[in-house]
């Protein structure tokens, strides 16, 4: 078998590489990267590296040659049509290269009535794959818990969580747990041979009072909950380049569209995901 991972040097992709290497020999793994220079360490570690360009079907077809299972981690663009075009190019290259199966990484905010700016892309994925000739599974991640760790100093300074979600809860998963599940679905055909749609979450969701209480306990600093308006939140983070996009995501959360909880992670891996308390306690260092 030959497994191909796109975005292999990214935050999630690099963890998927590590998890997949626990299950299959490195010789069975090929890594697709947009900037090969960033993959020098992976190449030195014995992985096969190939450059990919989502806009170039011909080069992707060559890169996918001999591949059985593609793990597709999308680019970070907030352009819905751009992401769709990249995915369509990928499917075209897969067909030309005779790739059999795809494990597609998606996101919880995929509802038709979601105000999240990228929801249209995520909603399109399962229907598109259902009409494709490939074996597939869609793995939807809840919100990543990982960004909360570098965010904690700001929250300590503010004394509050400020997410504009009212009394609604949100679901989370760590990138490490996501990567473990993705690798297992890729390797175990019975987990991906029925067009499965998975949602990876912790065992419970958290409203912002619960989340701020956990943060207070972990950091030893008082952190409460004082939600901003959606507009205020967008204005605060617009200078970082994604204020409006993030605000639209929390708008979806405020409508109760990001609080789903499943046991899919346990079903895939055979054990529980890491809880929010354990995750923050393990990763936060003052």
In the predicted model, is pLDDT for residue 235 greater than 80? yes
CATH number of the structural domain 3-141+174-201+259-273: 3.40.50.720
pLDDT band at 35 (very low <50, low <70, confident <90, very high): confident
This prediction's pTM: 0.96
Select the more confidently predicted residue: 210 or 193.
Answer: 210
pLDDT band at 34 (very low <50, low <70, confident <90, very high): confident
DSSP state of 105: E
Give the pLDDT score at 237: 85
- Run of H or E residues at 126: helix 119-130
In the predicted model, is pLDDT for residue 285 greater than 90? no
In the predicted model, is pLDDT for residue 78 greater than 90? no
Region 40-51 average pLDDT: 91
Q: Where are the domains of the chain?
A: 3-141+174-201+259-273
Give CA–CA dist 76/183, Å, rounded.
Answer: 21
Looking at the chain, the whole-number percentage of residues with pLDDT higher than 90 is: 90
Looking at the chain, the whole-number percentage of residues with pLDDT higher than 70 is: 99
Give the pLDDT score at 241: 67
DSSP state of 22: T
pLDDT band at 144 (very low <50, low <70, confident <90, very high): very high
- CB neighbourhood size of 62 (10 A): 14
pLDDT band at 28 (very low <50, low <70, confident <90, very high): very high
* Strand 196-200 versus strand 135-141 pairing type: parallel
Half-sphere exposure of 260 (CA within 13 A, CB side): 18
Region 47-52 average pLDDT: 94
Give the pLDDT score at 37: 83
């Amino acid at each position: 078998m030959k497994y191909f991972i796109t975005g292999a040097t990214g935050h999630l992709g690099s963890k998927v590489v590590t998890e997949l290497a626990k299950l299959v020999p490195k010789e069975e793994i090929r890594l697709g990267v947009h900037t090969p220079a960033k993959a020098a360490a992976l190449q030195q570690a014995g992985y096969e590296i190939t450059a990919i360009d989502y806009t170039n079907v011909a080069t992707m077809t060559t890169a996918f040659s001999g591949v059985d299972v593609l793990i597709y981690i999308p680019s970070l663009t907030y352009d819905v049509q751009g992401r769709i075009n990249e995915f369509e190019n990928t499917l075209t290259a897969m067909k030309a290269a005779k790739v059999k199966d795809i494990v597609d990484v998606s996101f919880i905010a995929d509802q038709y009535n979601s105000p999240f700016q990228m929801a249209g892309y995520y909603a399109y994925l399962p229907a598109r794959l259902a009409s494709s000739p490939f074996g597939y599974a869609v793995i939807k991640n809840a919100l990543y818990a990982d960004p909360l760790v570098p965010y904690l100093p700001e929250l300590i300074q503010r004394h509050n969580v400020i997410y504009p979600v009212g009394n609604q809860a949100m679901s989370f998963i760590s990138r490490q747990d996501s990567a473990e599940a993705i690798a297992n679905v890729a390797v175990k055909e019975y987990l991906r041979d029925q067009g499965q749609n998975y949602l990876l979450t912790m065992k419970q969701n958290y409203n912002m009072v619960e989340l701020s209480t956990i943060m207070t306990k972990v950091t030893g600093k008082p952190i409460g909950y004082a939600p901003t308006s959606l507009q205020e939140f967008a204005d605060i983070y617009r200078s970082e380049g994604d204020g409006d996009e993030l605000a639209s995501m929390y708008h979806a959360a405020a409508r109760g569209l990001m609080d789903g909880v499943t046991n899919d992670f346990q079903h895939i891996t055979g054990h529980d995901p890491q809880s929010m308390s354990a995750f923050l306690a393990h990763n936060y260092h003052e």
